[in-house]
Chain A
């Protein structure tokens, strides 16, 4: 393999990893704060992709512009789902909470998937903007504009989330709730509201990832579960206590998949990811980027 084609593989791995990272951060946020496993996270990603797709097909809105609509749209859907479904789960304790959350969100997965199939048909859809297929050429490496743009947005979003959680009063309240919800209540934090907003924020992150998927690959109603699993692998890689750490972990998985795909064959790409998943669980169960 020439050095150019290796670098090309690496760069594409990083770009794909950026999507993994954003998808995983939403899942990690909801898992870390609400302590629930949202199997329907991939379905939220899929819905975000469709919002972006329809805005493009109907009004010709560029996905990088319409993301400003897609994000609040999924934020609202997140609020709604929290009010209707998840608020009944978050009040449970311990093992019961995690088990019920998986069952309930798995059920929701089927509902959303079937609704999407009924509403949007099972066809695969993708956004073809005017600049799809064009890109920068740098020392023999191609950097497609769509992927470059997605990656830039992903980095900005990650930095914003980091600053929000670590530097603002409300963000700190979210982290405090994640650490000890009873103590959070005792200082006057309305944890039900924190749960609701955090879930909606997680849905918004799914919307961003969904937009990238629609631009990069294309979407259909059945893609959700694949992305939930991918996000889950990344969350375990990062460590379940780590929220923003999911982004570098996503990039790492993207690189590993791309490079191993190039050397061993793309059939084994998924396998490599899952092997790493198992290895991390055995050797470093606290994750690669856990803070404690």
Chain B
């Protein structure tokens, strides 16, 4: 399978503190890839780095044949790499409609925006009902739907989501993951950071494990679900007897 997003030997730091050490991974076109690991492992840093909000100290990020790590964030969006950031980060004082409109700000997505918005409303009917409501007055689940909707408005080729299930009720998480699966079936490649490792591994074709800024494991999603170390560390199983 050809590499779509290709990350090679990335090192990154916040001030004096190195947060990513020689991270290499890839995502192929059409895949769902998960990234799991404990808090502070560098998952969010890696996502922000791919999106261009943070620059690596060395290494490179490439999408198909385009190097991304040299581009500013707004140009990375033009290549169809869209990040739905941790904590949703909506434009709270604006309406649902305005948030969605702005999601299509890139010149690539702008002309299609009315068509895309129809699609977002089909995926999330609640957003259609609440068009005039201010984003900061909505519930957490609705805000996450709007955040993903805003991401879809940018016509993603690669949709990256940072902790989409954080703080949400199980039913809504279920709903959101179904929509991610649907998006993937329609050809969108997905790269997902999740603290809900079980959900992520169930959905993902493949996954990487990041610990203390290093990739310490990788495998098929369903394999990792049954891997003893992963089960102990991330899925809440007690160590097997005799180990």
Size category of the B interface is 20 to 34
Knowing A179-B91, A179-B93, A291-B93, say if A185 contacts B102 (CB, 8 Å): no
User: What residue of chain A has the Cβ atom nearest to residue B107's Cβ?
Assistant: A188
Knowing A169-B101, A173-B102, say if A188 contacts B109 (CB, 8 Å): yes
Does A176 make an interface contact (CB < 8 A)? yes
Main secondary structure of the interface of A (DSSP, over half): helix
User: When the two chains form their complex, are residues A186 and B53 in contact, meaning their CB atoms are under 8 A apart?
Assistant: yes
User: What residue of chain B has the Cβ atom nearest to residue A186's Cβ?
Assistant: B83
User: When the two chains form their complex, are residues B73 and A185 in contact, meaning their CB atoms are under 8 A apart?
Assistant: yes
A189 neighbours in B (Cβ, 8 Å) = 74, 102, 105
Does B56 make an interface contact (CB < 8 A)? no
Does A190 make an interface contact (CB < 8 A)? yes
Min C-beta distance of A103 to chain B, whole Å: 23
Does B120 make an interface contact (CB < 8 A)? no
Knowing A186-B77, A187-B150, say if A176 contacts B102 (CB, 8 Å): yes
Min C-beta distance of B137 to chain A, whole Å: 11
Min C-beta distance of A218 to chain B, whole Å: 40
Hey, what's the 0/1 contact readout for B159-170 against A, CB within 8 Å counting as 1? Answer: 000000000000
Cα distance A186–B83 in the bound complex, in angstroms: 7
Checking B53, B78, B153 against A182 with a beta-carbon cut-off of 8 angstroms, the contacting residue is B53
Cα distance A169–B72 in the bound complex, in angstroms: 21
Min C-beta distance of B68 to chain A, whole Å: 14
User: What residue of chain A has the Cβ atom nearest to residue B150's Cβ?
Assistant: A187
Does B89 make an interface contact (CB < 8 A)? yes
Checking A175, A185, A188 against B94 with a beta-carbon cut-off of 8 angstroms, the contacting residue is A175
A188 neighbours in B (Cβ, 8 Å) = 74, 77-78, 105-109, 154
User: What residue of chain B has the Cβ atom nearest to residue A291's Cβ?
Assistant: B93
User: When the two chains form their complex, are residues B105 and A187 in contact, meaning their CB atoms are under 8 A apart?
Assistant: yes
Knowing A185-B72, A185-B74, A188-B106, say if A179 contacts B83 (CB, 8 Å): no
User: What residue of chain B has the Cβ atom nearest to residue A189's Cβ?
Assistant: B105
Checking B77, B92, B93 against A187 with a beta-carbon cut-off of 8 angstroms, the contacting residue is B77
A185 neighbours in B (Cβ, 8 Å) = 52-53, 72-74, 77
Does A57 make an interface contact (CB < 8 A)? no
- Other than the known A185-B52, A185-B53, A187-B77, what 12 A-B pairs have Cβ atoms closer than 8 Å? A173-B105, A182-B85, A182-B89, A183-B89, A183-B91, A185-B73, A185-B77, A186-B89, A187-B106, A187-B153, A190-B74, A292-B136
